Amino acid sequence: MADSMDETTTSTTTALAEVAGASSYTPDAMRAVIASLREEAATRASLERTIVADFENGCEATKQEADRLIQETIDRYDDKIASTKREFEELQQRIEKQYRDSEVSVGRQRDAKAAEITRQAEQKKEQLKEDEHFAESTEAESFKERRRDPGKLFARDSQHLETYTQDFAKLREKCLKILAERKIDGAESAPPAAAEQETPCPPAARSSPM
């Protein structure tokens, strides 16, 4: 392209030099100059079209390359996003499964613990019932024994009463002695000691055991 333009410029310069060197105007020289100018204008127009076409082709190629790179980047990151999303969904499903499994395990442990507590409570309840029944049976048996041998009970109570009576008699004698020493009237008018009174035997002591 540059060579053709240089050739056209050279021919035009030569034609103009011939016209300038001519001693007079000739139509052939002018026709040569005009032809040369037309040829140069055509070359210039061709070059302008070529430059514009090259520029447009370069812009289009650059745009296509940029679009290709952008699409590759979009596709690459779309793949990464999809892969990350799949990993997240798998992780979420695994966590949900672990939670369900742990919930089932905790529920089983809770039910087993509740059953164990219930069983222990029932055992304790039965034991309390047995203890209560045993206490009632022991009390009833003791009551029956006391009813069967009232004579022993009366003898024991009589012994206690006799001890209390003797203590009271000793205290009475001591008091009377103190009154006599101080010559206080009425010392001899005190009632007889309780030990001197005969204690009747209750009918239950004479009755036969049941």
Token pair for 19? 């016209």
Give the pLDDT confidence of 146-166 residue by residue, as tens digits.
Answer: 666 666 767 777 888 888 898
- Annotated domain spans of the chain: 2-116, 159-210
- Give the C-alpha distances (Å, rounded to integers) separating 5 from 31, 47, 179, 182: 20, 9, 174, 176
8 A C-beta contact, residue 161 and residue 199: yes
Task: Provide the whole-model pTM.
Answer: 0.34
Give the pLDDT confidence of 58-116 residue by residue, as tens digits.
Answer: 999 999 999 999 999 999 999 999 999 999 999 999 999 999 888 888 888 889 888 99
What is the CA angle 98-100-105, rounded to 5? 90
Give the pLDDT confidence of 18-37 residue by residue, as tens digits.
Answer: 555 554 568 887 888 888 88
| Three-state secondary structure of 67-97 | HHHHHHHHHHHHHHHHHHHHHHHHHHHHHHH
Residues 6+ apart with CB under 8 A from 205: 150, 151, 154, 155
